[in-house]
Amino acid sequence: MTRTDARTPYADGALAAYRWALGAGGSGPITGTPGAAPPDVERLTAEVDASVVQTEDRTQSAAGHAFAEGVHDVLTWVCGLRDGAP
C-alpha cells in the first residue's frame, strides 16, 4: 500500500489542535497566543471560541474555514463539549 501526503486543511487544523492541546504546539492554532504548555481549560475554550468566529466568517477562504473547523472539532472533543473523537 502506498501513502500519499494529500492532507486537507481540515486535517491540518485537527493535527495542529491535537499537538497544541498536548503541549507540543506552542501557540494557539487559531489565535497564535503563546502560553504555558499544555494549555489550561481557559486557553482551550478561548481557542474554541476563536475557531467559531473563524468558521462563521464569510470572508474566510475555504481552506481557512476548513482549518478552523478541524481545530474546532478537536478542541470541543478535548474539552468534553462533543461526543466522539473527530
> What pLDDT, on a 0 to 100 scale, did the predictor assign at position 35?
80
The whole-angstrom separation of Cα 60 and Cα 66 is: 10
Structure-block grid coordinates of residue 6: 494529500
5/56 Cα distance (integer angstroms): 28
Q: What is the per-residue pLDDT across 1-47, written as a single tens digit (0 to 9) for each?
A: 455 567 899 999 999 999 999 999 789 999 999 888 899 999 999 99
Tell me the whole-structure pTM to 2 decimals. 0.89
DSSP-derived secondary structure for 17-66:
HHHHHTT-S-S-TTT----SSS--HHHHHHHHHHHHHHHH-TTS-HHHHH
What is each CA distance from 46 to 1, 2, 62, in whole angstroms?
41, 39, 22
